[in-house]
Structure 1
Amino acid sequence: MKQTSPVLESIQQDIRIRGYSLRTEKAYLYWVRRYILFLKKAHPENLGSVDVKNFLNW
């Protein structure tokens, strides 16, 4: 059984409530996971626009 984080579960619920397609859900969750791993699982409170910019430039 694959464990997911509460953050990813929350994002997944929001995506489903909005009625996005399954492919879109999978793509969004993939990129959120990549972002989390890129930032070495740092807490969102400690992140800012510079971190997003660094990820996108990476």
Structure 2
Amino acid sequence: MAIPTDPRTPQQRVTDQLEAAHRQLTKPGLSRRDRAQAADRIDQLKQEASRLGL
């Protein structure tokens, strides 16, 4: 069975995930808990991006 590979670079993956997290954060009707989780994810992704030199 073939293992799927992601053709994106680590920088592209972090950028895509960060954009998705921002979209999640701006969804209407998001609970306070979900909003906090999205904000935490954004913080983690920003730290990862800085480690990658973005």
**TM-score interval w.r.t. the shorter chain?**
0.3 to 0.5
Q: Radius of gyration: which is bigger?
A: 2
Greater RCO, CA 8 A, separation 6+: 2
> What TM-score, normalized by structure 2, do the two folds share?
0.45
> What TM-score, normalized by structure 1, do the two folds share?
0.42
